[in-house]
């Protein structure tokens, strides 16, 4: 019997086999035109159908209000780290960047090139090393800033700031949010944000595209004249995101993913499944004597579950043996080390069950010092 393998990669990441079957159909004979989806012109009627389905489907599943535009770009979320300041911020504009981890820090560092970016620490570490979020009143927000940037789910650390956490930010500020590793995993009240953006390669599809959901009145003449046209929000809006040739295949894959979400009951239902998977994994960690997760329960990510043991040597063994057991890409990020299981929408409950079974087995072997195992 073929052994089941599960891919816990942080992105590009696992795609449900059900969706993969449809992707393969598109590889071969797209909509019975006799050509692969990869060979279809982005100006063709077939591709226009994809564009409409992608835009409409995303509007539907995320309940995007009428006064928001949905744009697609190349360049990943990192591209947006530059495009957003180039479009929106004056060079001397004070912008608050909330720092909750690796990715929000990168956004801030890029922002420094184009505006007067301020780093606002929102993390607190307690005496027993538990990482948590400071209450908003303790955030050092400037009374001169109009924009606040934050990352909803820190993929590297496995920390998620709840959408409600930003409710106490003064209402006159425009919130810009990186949802790269959490978009489509739970409902988002888009109206709370000026911009929600995300790379495709986790919950939205395959690498190659970034979605930007932006309140229409924020699209104006860019603040920086030197902005490349390809990053200019007004140019992309005028050209329906087809200013140059887009990553056509990645757009196509995302239409299939959105179909799959709708078929599975929409984002609210997907959120329930995600919660169940995350609970199973976190409960296993909390009940064990070997595994440690240092994120305050309230802020634990539903998408990226990080854990480690007391020693890097044991972590290494864990990764080595998990791979041999068909549980792939569990090595933690190079900065944080330890382990990380990315359990995006496509990861089935059985995949997480297989992981927790392995974790229990590994722990048992460790405590009973099975020489052949270590
Ligand atoms: C939260 C977050 N923001 C930004 C990025 C960078 O995305 P990209 O590689 O598409 O530029 C990542 C990548 O993993 C991410 O997880």
Both 114 and 189 in one domain: the answer is yes
Residue 3 binned pLDDT confidence (cut-offs 50, 70, 90)? low
Q: What are phi and psi of 94, to 5 degrees?
A: -85, 120
Cβ of 73 below 6 Å from ligand 1 = no
Q: What is the rounded average pLDDT of the residues 190-196?
A: 97
Both 229 and 278 in one domain: the answer is no
Please give the tally of structural domains in the chain: 2
Angle at 79 between CA 198 and CA 165, to 5 degrees: 40
User: Is it the case that residue 372 has pLDDT exceeding 80?
Assistant: no
**Segments forming the whole domain that contains residue 357:** 266-367
CA R_g for the chain:
21
Q: Are 303 and 344 in contact (CB under 8 A)?
A: yes
Cβ of 107 below 6 Å from ligand 1 = no
Model confidence over 237-278: pLDDT tens digits?
A: 999 999 999 999 999 999 999 999 999 999 999 999 999 999
Q: What is the rounded average pLDDT of the residues 347-362?
A: 97
Cβ of 224 below 6 Å from ligand 1 = no
We report the CATH number of the domain holding residue 341 as: 3.90.1150.10
User: Is it the case that residue 314 has pLDDT exceeding 80?
Assistant: yes
Is there a catalytic annotation at residue 113?
no
Quick check: is 100 in a domain? yes
Q: What is the rounded average pLDDT of the residues 208-223?
A: 97
> What does the alpha-carbon distance between residue 347 and residue 300 come to, in Å, rounded to a whole number?
18
In ligand 1, the atom with minimum distance to the C-alpha of 151 is 1
Residue 25 binned pLDDT confidence (cut-offs 50, 70, 90)? confident
Model confidence over 63-92: pLDDT tens digits?
A: 999 999 999 999 999 999 999 999 999 999
Tell me how far the alpha carbon of residue 173 lies from the centroid of ligand 1, in angstroms: 24
> Is 109 one of the annotated binding-site residues?
no
Cβ of 78 below 6 Å from ligand 1 = yes
Tell me the average pLDDT of the chain: 95
Quick check: is 328 in a domain? yes
158: left (phi over 0), alpha (psi -120 to 50) or beta: left
Both 138 and 221 in one domain: the answer is yes
User: Is it the case that residue 1 has pLDDT exceeding 60?
Assistant: no
Which of 96, 165, 178, 232 is an active site residue? 178
Quick check: is 2 in a domain? no
Quick check: is 372 in a domain? no
In 58-100, beta strands by DSSP E: 68-73, 94-99
Is there a catalytic annotation at residue 260?
no
């Amino acid at each position: 019997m073929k052994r089941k393998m599960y891919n816990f990669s942080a992105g590009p990441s696992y795609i449900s086999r059900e969706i993969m079957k449809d992707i393969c159909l598109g590889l071969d004979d797209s909509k019975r035109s006799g050509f692969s989806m990869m060979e279809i012109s982005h100006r063709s009627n077939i591709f226009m159908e994809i564009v409409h389905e992608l835009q409409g489907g995303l509007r539907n599943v995320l309940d995007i209000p009428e006064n928001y535009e949905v744009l697609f770009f190349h360049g990943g979320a990192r591209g947006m780290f530059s495009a957003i300041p180039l479009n929106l911020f004056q060079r001397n504009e004070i912008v608050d960047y909330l720092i909750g981890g690796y990715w929000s820090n990168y956004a801030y560092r890029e922002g420094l090139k184009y505006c007067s970016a301020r780093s606002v620490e929102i993390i607190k570490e307690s005496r027993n090393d538990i990482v948590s979020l400071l209450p908003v009143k303790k955030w050092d927000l400037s009374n001169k800033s109009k924009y606040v940037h934050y990352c909803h789910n820190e993929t590297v650390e496995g920390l998620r700031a709840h959408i409600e956490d930003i409710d106490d930010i003064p209402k006159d500020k425009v919130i810009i949010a990186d949802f790269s590793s959490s978009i489509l995993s739970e409902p988002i009240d888009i109206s709370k944000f000026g911009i929600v953006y995300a790379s495709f390669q986790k919950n939205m599809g395959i690498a190659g595209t970034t979605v930007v959901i932006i309140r229409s009145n924020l699209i104006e003449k860019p603040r920086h004249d030197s902005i490349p046209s390809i990053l200019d929000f007004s140019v992309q809006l005028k050209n329906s995101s087809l200013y140059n040739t887009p990553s056509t295949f990645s757009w196509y894959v995302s239409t299939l993913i959105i179909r799959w979400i709708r078929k599975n009951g929409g984002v609210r239902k997907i959120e329930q499944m995600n919660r169940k998977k995350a609970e199973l994994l976190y409960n296993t960690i909390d009940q064990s004597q070997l595994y440690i997760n240092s994120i305050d329960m309230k802020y634990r990510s539903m998408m990226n579950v990080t854990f480690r043991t007391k020693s890097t040597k044991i972590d290494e063994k864990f990764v080595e043996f998990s791979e041999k057991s068909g549980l792939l890409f569990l090595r933690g990020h190079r900065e944080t080390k330890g382990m990380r299981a990315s359990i995006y929408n496509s990861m089935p409950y059985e995949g997480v069950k297989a992981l927790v079974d392995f974790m229990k087995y590994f722990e048992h072997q460790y405590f009973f010092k099975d020489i052949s195992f270590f």
